[in-house]
Structure 1
Amino acid sequence: MKKKIVIVVCLLVLAIPLVIYGGWKVTEWRAMRALGGVSFEVEEYVKNITQQEYDVIVVGGDPEGVAAAVAAAREGAKTLLLEPRDGLGGLMTYGALNFIDYDFDMNDDIANEGVFKEWHELVGGQVVFDIETAKDAFLKLVQDEENIDLSLTTEVLEPIMSEDGTTILGVVAEDENGTHSYYGQRIIDATQHADLAAMANVPYFIGGADIGLENRKMAVTLMVHLDNVNWDGIAYTALTKKFGEAKFTQTAAWGFVDLHHAYTPVEEGTRLRGLNVARQSDNSIYINALHIFDVDGLDPASIEEGIERGKREIEGVVQFLREEFPGFKRAEVASYPTELYIRETRHIYAEYQLPIVDVWEQKDHWDSIGFGSYPVDIQATSVHDYGYVLTHPTQYAIPFRSLVPLEIDGLLVASKSSGYSSLAAGSARIIPTGMSTAQAAGVAAALSIREDISFRELAANRPLINELQELLKEQGALLYAYDLDFPYKGKWFYPAIKKLLTYGLVSGGHQNDLHVENTMSELEFVNLLTNGFQRISPQAYENHASGLSDIHLMAQKDKTPLSRNQASRFLLTVFGESREGDAWAKVVDQDLVDEEIVNRLVEEKNLLRSEGYVVVAHILQKIEQLYQ
């Protein structure tokens, strides 16, 4: 027994220089936390709002709101942060999303530094974090800034607008002491769903409406929180690949994708995917894996129904894991999060709507305020699909213009609802990216006040954008100019790929590979045409529905290669023309194929995907001209 005590003491003594040096890993930091050695202190929160007028008002205490408020305050702006919950961190803390999705830049460094990095180091600097520690860390960042007033449990009721309705001047908010009017020279909406922007009549679209998929509802997730789980059992399952490929550390495990099929859901409209498992310092775990479908993220009743459905499904998940997954034999539900992880709702229209092509092309921007690189992850929308990865960029820049909403002045939107196309948002929606853009919003707010210039004017002022970028660097943000190539750059067929990417009709996966040298099948060609018509214009689809239906009946289902003449017959059918005789000559005469393809397909042959993409893109260009 004495020997054990000596060993423990020696280990603690050896740990001291590691703590001073800052070289602790999560496991050691967690051990210190378990022993009471928390690495920072947070004061007890006391609401003390003594004024009604501020330089900057930030609405929303999610991670993005904290980043925006801290950044504005550090630039000397008197800042008010309003949050309806009783603490900070939003999705990360109340939604329990404690497994971080990272952006890595072209140098394989974490691309989001600045305020995100400060918070990340406070919670241990690893891919998972303790939720209560995260709450404290967000609060510490705010409390450390003398220029921030924080008002929790405060609901924003409506914006205060100028007489002509074009400029937001402040907000009306309600807390336990009543209703208050707060005025700010600049306002930042950092809510998950651009709630304030919507109230201020900023134009926006929902879901995938920009590509004809307004009713698209990506799966939402209720995090699973369990006690009495044996981590060695999880590690064993990963090593034996019982549920497919998986990896693990002392605090995280991910993979297990065969659970897609091994588990049969109890509730209709739910599904278990592969597990992302995060281990807490109390040895409880959180799992991000439960998909819940058909939830409207803007409807409180639908959200509540989704939560209750998720809770019932978790009972089935836990029972399955107890019986089939080593390490879960004694598992019990520890708690339920109070919020869902809602991936997509509003997208505001901005001065620059970041397109998916910019992500594919890994484009830099003159007004870059941060980098993204996360895969464009379009999550499943029903139990009948599994979603897809459209592309996995090395790095792309997010422009300041994407935070400046159309029509309404005095406001920036800094969250996953910023000015991104719905496809680009599949990458840009992750929290570290949001914290980088929100930090830029905070700095921009202070800068615009100092220069007495509107956000819209700032977005067009290159010298001041340069100053904004320098201020961000001084605050620790990672920013630099770069130039990267991208897949199929300069290829004769690349313009067609751009067209198809814009509507999400092709996907390159994690390897950015469209397999352009493979033969296109009849069914693939028909699906591209049909989906293209639907996404460009409902009217176009309706007008050609009969022909599109006919070509689906004509197409072979067994991956039959698409020949030049069969592609011609498909096109003639879609446009209501006779397909008898020389179909190729007819489509050439009617300009249903472009000149490049005419020159390349001089003889009957099977089409490569590159060639099929060009044929489809030419037709979609015509449909755009006719119906948009």
Structure 2
Amino acid sequence: MRLRNPRVLLAIALAVLLILVAAFSLGKIWFNQGSMNMNAIAPIVTHPAPPQVSEVPASTPNQDTKQESASTYPTENVDVVVIGSELEGLYLARAAVDEGLKVKILDPHQAFGGQILQSQMLFLDETRDEQGHLLVQGRAKELFDGFRNAKIRKLSEFTTYMDKLSKDIPIESGITIEEVEQIQTPDHMHKIPSILYKTNKNEVKKITASYWVDNSDFAALMSRLETKRLPGLEKFYGQKDIEYMSAGMMMKFKNVDWKKFNTTFNALKPEDRSKQFGGGNVSDSFAIGLSGMTKAYHPSNDRVFLRGLNAVNQRDGEVLINALLVYTVDPAKLASVQEAVYLGNKETALILQHFRKTLPGWEKAELGEQPTYPYIREYNHYEMDYTLKPSDLLGGTMFWDNVSIGGYPLDLQGTSANKWGIEMGRPDKYGMPLRSFLLKNYENVIAAGKNVGSSAIAYGSTRIQPNTSLAAESIGVILGQLHGKQKLREIKPEDMLKLQTYLATRYQIKLTGVTGTNKITGWNVEEIRKLDTGEITYPSYVQTRKKPAVK
């Protein structure tokens, strides 16, 4: 059939023309915005956005449009920003405030308190030298004395202590770092003038500071900077993939008859105690070891493991235990952390049944409040101005810029490659220099707590809380004393001695005149090299090492 009506033909022609124009326009939009359309159908990612770092040459005025737009955000100016609310960095914050500085805490976690309050890691490890003398100094001493004397044992008591520590220091929890501004200093160092961050209400704010402290358990700030990651335990164990020390899930129980547990255990003859529990000891306050009993427990899967006990009597039938390990946890990945919590809490319920059957006084025990976050022992080690090594620790090395006196065995907690872990030696005591807390190539970035500049092997000892808590407090005091007069990196030995004297007289923190036993006296260069790389395991090597002949 033919269409002869000219009006109909004209209408068809116009319709075709409109369709072609529309198709051309849509094609142009798709061509120009195709990547956006592809992202629109991509799965939602819950991890923080990739870091945005703006580099501004020191000699060039800042013309960057992002920086200009950043000036429109609400801006706060402080002396020190502490990223994270772990215990160790809180000592730095408290000391700096008491010395007159303006400090703010920005916490990437939703809740305050880090491994102490959120992971409920309430079993504290003291540091002592080989003569048994207590090495804990500074503000941390009140906490550790209270723990030992059973005055600070419950979560509420730890909360009261940490609230006092952070009193009147502004804290924003649940923040996300959006952008880090960097400039290059005349001496070719990086410097951070400001950070853009998003609050838990999705408000973007800007904050400027003279110093930035990474006090998080996953290097929330430093992982976004131009840093060098040091080899981890994967090199020591010969693994291909990065793996950190196992995370811990704290186990909380109630309705435990601790008196019966203590008296029954200690009434046994040593040989019967060893046969039934595998040794260890139980006191009014603590139960340590009992590894024969824990070895008899068979985990439900390979990701979890029950090692010897570190149990504390929290009073009123409540007991907290640090003994359950979860392997291959990445603290920087939310899904990995959530999986660890699920695996750990699920296993705790099964372990309870084992304890009811094998431990006297535990027949009616029940689950207590389970933590919602794992105890993270380790993350990446980044290069600082000085990296502490096993030879520093076992050699009893003291530094001119000591900010802490440390001690504790080189205790490498288990990984999937070595589930029980290994001890690499027991130092007497050693110094921890300021340089081990200053991020290499950055003028104003300070490491706190788990971020200490340490090799993965030395970290078995340096990581312990009293060591890095004292360092953080000392640095906080030093920042206050230097404010507006001198930079941390400009400190010379004679300046440091004055600062250490001030710490001793004002805060009773002794960092000089301390001598540590050198346990590697007479070792040659090659032996020390192997000690530092882990090719030599100190406890076994010293039993067979040939001593040089006496002339």
TM tier, shorter chain? 0.7 to 0.9
Question: Which amino acid in the other structure matches residue 456 of structure 1?
Answer: R
Match 2:458 to one of 409, 424, 445: 424
Match 1:151 to one of 153, 165, 171: 171
SS in 2 for 1:297: coil
SS in 2 for 1:162: strand
Matches for 1:244-255 after TM superposition, within 5 Å = 244-255=278-289
Give yes or no for the alignment of 1:161 onto 2:196: no
SS in 2 for 1:82: strand
Matches for 1:351-362 after TM superposition, within 5 Å = 351-362=385-396
Cα deviation code 1:468-504 (max 9, x no counterpart): 32233222323222334423512xx543321221111
Cα deviation code 1:401-440 (max 9, x no counterpart): 0011112221111112211111111101011112111112
Deviation at 1:51, TM superposition (A): 7.5
Give yes or no for the alignment of 1:197 onto 2:218: no
Mark the CA change 1:379 to 1:237 in structure 2 (over 3 Å): closer, same or farther: farther
Aligned mates of 1:475, 1:481 — CA distance in 2:
16
**Superposition CA RMSD, Å:** 2.6
Give yes or no for the alignment of 1:188 onto 2:213: yes
Kindly indicate whether the alpha-carbon contact (under 8 Å) linking 1:224 and 1:336 is maintained by their aligned counterparts in 2: yes
SS in 2 for 1:416: helix
Matches for 1:90-489 after TM superposition, within 5 Å = 90-105=114-129, 108-121=132-145, 125=149, 129-143=153-167, 148-158=168-178, 160-164=180-184, 166-176=190-200, 178-205=203-230, 207-208=232-233, 215-236=242-263, 238-239=265-266, 240=268, 241=273, 242-382=276-416, 385-453=419-487, 455-458=488-491, 461-473=492-504, 474-489=506-521
Deviation at 1:124, TM superposition (A): 6.7
Kindly indicate whether the alpha-carbon contact (under 8 Å) linking 1:98 and 1:128 is maintained by their aligned counterparts in 2: no
Which residue of 2 is the match for residue 516 of structure 1? Answer: 544
Question: Which amino acid in the other structure matches residue 170 of structure 2?
Answer: L
Kindly indicate whether the alpha-carbon contact (under 8 Å) linking 1:89 and 1:134 is maintained by their aligned counterparts in 2: no
Deviation at 1:106, TM superposition (A): 6.2
Mark the CA change 1:260 to 1:321 in structure 2 (over 3 Å): closer, same or farther: closer
Which residue of 2 is the match for residue 67 of structure 1? Answer: 91
Question: Which amino acid in the other structure matches residue 503 of structure 1?
Answer: T
Deviation at 1:383, TM superposition (A): 7.1
Aligned mates of 1:200, 1:246 — CA distance in 2:
45
Aligned mates of 2:417, 2:261 — CA distance in 1:
26
Mark the CA change 1:128 to 1:293 in structure 2 (over 3 Å): closer, same or farther: farther
Mark the CA change 1:427 to 1:81 in structure 2 (over 3 Å): closer, same or farther: same
Which residue of 2 is the match for residue 571 of structure 1? Answer: none
SS in 2 for 1:114: coil
Deviation at 1:259, TM superposition (A): 2.8
Kindly indicate whether the alpha-carbon contact (under 8 Å) linking 2:175 and 2:200 is maintained by their aligned counterparts in 1: no
Deviation at 1:223, TM superposition (A): 0.6
Cα deviation code 1:367-422 (max 9, x no counterpart): 11111111000112127542111111110100110011112221111112211111
Q: Does 1 or 2 have the higher relative contact order (CA < 8 Å, sep 6+)? A: 2
SS in 2 for 1:171: strand
Give yes or no for the alignment of 1:505 onto 2:535: yes
Give yes or no for the alignment of 1:80 onto 2:104: yes
Mark the CA change 1:297 to 1:127 in structure 2 (over 3 Å): closer, same or farther: farther
Match 1:54 to one of 65, 72, 78: 78
Aligned mates of 1:176, 1:441 — CA distance in 2:
30
Kindly indicate whether the alpha-carbon contact (under 8 Å) linking 2:83 and 2:220 is maintained by their aligned counterparts in 1: no
Kindly indicate whether the alpha-carbon contact (under 8 Å) linking 2:86 and 2:449 is maintained by their aligned counterparts in 1: no
Cα deviation code 1:510-566 (max 9, x no counterpart): xx862125xxxxxxxxxxxxxxxxxxxxxxxxxxxxxxxxxxxxxxxxxxxxxxxxx
Count how many residue pairs are aligned between Structure 1 and Structure 2. 460
Which residue of 2 is the match for residue 562 of structure 1? Answer: none
Mark the CA change 1:204 to 1:488 in structure 2 (over 3 Å): closer, same or farther: closer
Kindly indicate whether the alpha-carbon contact (under 8 Å) linking 1:202 and 1:408 is maintained by their aligned counterparts in 2: no
Kindly indicate whether the alpha-carbon contact (under 8 Å) linking 1:64 and 1:190 is maintained by their aligned counterparts in 2: yes
Mark the CA change 1:424 to 1:387 in structure 2 (over 3 Å): closer, same or farther: same
Aligned mates of 2:140, 2:149 — CA distance in 1:
10
Give yes or no for the alignment of 1:496 onto 2:526: yes
Mark the CA change 1:180 to 1:268 in structure 2 (over 3 Å): closer, same or farther: same
Mark the CA change 1:260 to 1:123 in structure 2 (over 3 Å): closer, same or farther: closer
Deviation at 1:87, TM superposition (A): 5.5
Kindly indicate whether the alpha-carbon contact (under 8 Å) linking 2:143 and 2:152 is maintained by their aligned counterparts in 1: no
Mark the CA change 1:179 to 1:191 in structure 2 (over 3 Å): closer, same or farther: same
Cα deviation code 1:329-375 (max 9, x no counterpart): 11111121111112211112011111111011011111111111110
Kindly indicate whether the alpha-carbon contact (under 8 Å) linking 1:63 and 1:435 is maintained by their aligned counterparts in 2: yes
Question: Which amino acid in the other structure matches residue 77 of structure 1?
Answer: L
Aligned mates of 1:179, 1:295 — CA distance in 2:
30
Deviation at 1:89, TM superposition (A): 3.0
Deviation at 1:75, TM superposition (A): 1.4
Kindly indicate whether the alpha-carbon contact (under 8 Å) linking 1:229 and 1:285 is maintained by their aligned counterparts in 2: yes
Aligned mates of 2:434, 2:496 — CA distance in 1:
8
Alignment identity in percent?
25
TM-score by length of 2: 0.77
Mark the CA change 1:152 to 1:250 in structure 2 (over 3 Å): closer, same or farther: farther
Kindly indicate whether the alpha-carbon contact (under 8 Å) linking 2:80 and 2:211 is maintained by their aligned counterparts in 1: yes
SS in 2 for 1:397: strand
SS in 1 for 2:125: coil
Give unpaired runs (5+ residues) of structure 2. 1-73
Kindly indicate whether the alpha-carbon contact (under 8 Å) linking 2:183 and 2:192 is maintained by their aligned counterparts in 1: no
Kindly indicate whether the alpha-carbon contact (under 8 Å) linking 1:488 and 1:494 is maintained by their aligned counterparts in 2: no
Higher deviation after alignment, 91-100 or 203-212: 203-212
TM-score by length of 1: 0.68
Cα deviation code 1:107-148 (max 9, x no counterpart): 6432121121234456675596222211111111222xxxx5
Mark the CA change 1:402 to 1:141 in structure 2 (over 3 Å): closer, same or farther: same
Aligned mates of 1:360, 1:224 — CA distance in 2:
33
Higher deviation after alignment, 237-246 or 434-443: 237-246
Kindly indicate whether the alpha-carbon contact (under 8 Å) linking 1:229 and 1:331 is maintained by their aligned counterparts in 2: yes
Mark the CA change 1:285 to 1:409 in structure 2 (over 3 Å): closer, same or farther: same
Q: Which runs of 4+ in 1 moved over 6 A?
A: none
